[in-house]
Amino acid sequence: MAFLVRSSGAVVKDRETMEEILGTCGVSLELWPVQSTDRTAALLSRDSPGTEEVEEILSEQDRYFQKLREAHGYQTRDLVVVYPELPGLSAMLDRFRPIHYHEDDEVRYVVDGEGVFGFVLPDGDQVELLVEKGDFIRVPRLLEHWFRLTETRRIKAIRYFTGTAGWVPVYTGTPSLFSGETARTA
């Protein structure tokens, strides 16, 4: 289950309270069961599924894509696959760790593994949210946030896009109130 950590170190595990806090900065968090057959479950557990296998994983979850397409106009989806030995992993993580925003929503559905999103709340406080398999999250455009992995360094997440233009990090230079790996140990 996802949980949230305040900059004070207080941990919030109650889903309703989490959604309320996240709602103050426009983030939506939903729990969507990951659809899988024995075969796709096996594919999901692989470090690095091939192109056709990735398509199988994506297709399995396309009922959600269809819903998003109809409700919000998302046009494309792909699968981000991260594992400890992924070439270029450190550089990739370095891009998303500093506080930044995007010109478009950041929409992720975690289908395997886990990761941590951080958000700057309207009052200037910050929270970290651990997301794992089954968590669907939408980070609204222009909201200051960051992303990091947990010590497992393993996540697979479907990304949904309305377009590819504008989806780059814009760094704001806001200092993080989180010094270490708080959410990991909560």
CB 144 within 8 A of CB 111: no
Smallest separation (angstroms) from Fe ion to the CB of 184? 19
Residues binding Fe ion: what is the number (CB under 5 A)?
Answer: 1
The DSSP-derived string for 32-80 is -PPP--HHHHHHHTSSS--HHHHHHHHHHTHHHHHHHHHHH---EEEEE
Q: Mark 137-148 as b/e (b = at least 16 C-beta within 10 Å).
A: bbbbeebbbbbb
Smallest separation (angstroms) from Fe ion to the CB of 45? 26
Nearer to Fe ion, 60 or 136 (CB): 136
Q: Which of residues 93-122 bind Fe ion (CB under 5 A)?
A: 106
Q: How far apart are the first and last CA of the chain?
A: 12
Smallest separation (angstroms) from Fe ion to the CB of 123? 21
Smallest separation (angstroms) from Fe ion to the CB of 136? 16
Q: Which residues are annotated as a binding site for Ni(2+)?
A: 100, 102, 106, 145
Q: Which residue is nearest to Fe ion (CB)?
A: 106
Which DSSP symbol is given to 165? T
- Structure tokens, 2: 């996802």
Nearer to Fe ion, 84 or 166 (CB): 166
Nearer to Fe ion, 112 or 144 (CB): 144
Q: Which residues bind Fe ion (CB under 5 A)?
A: 106
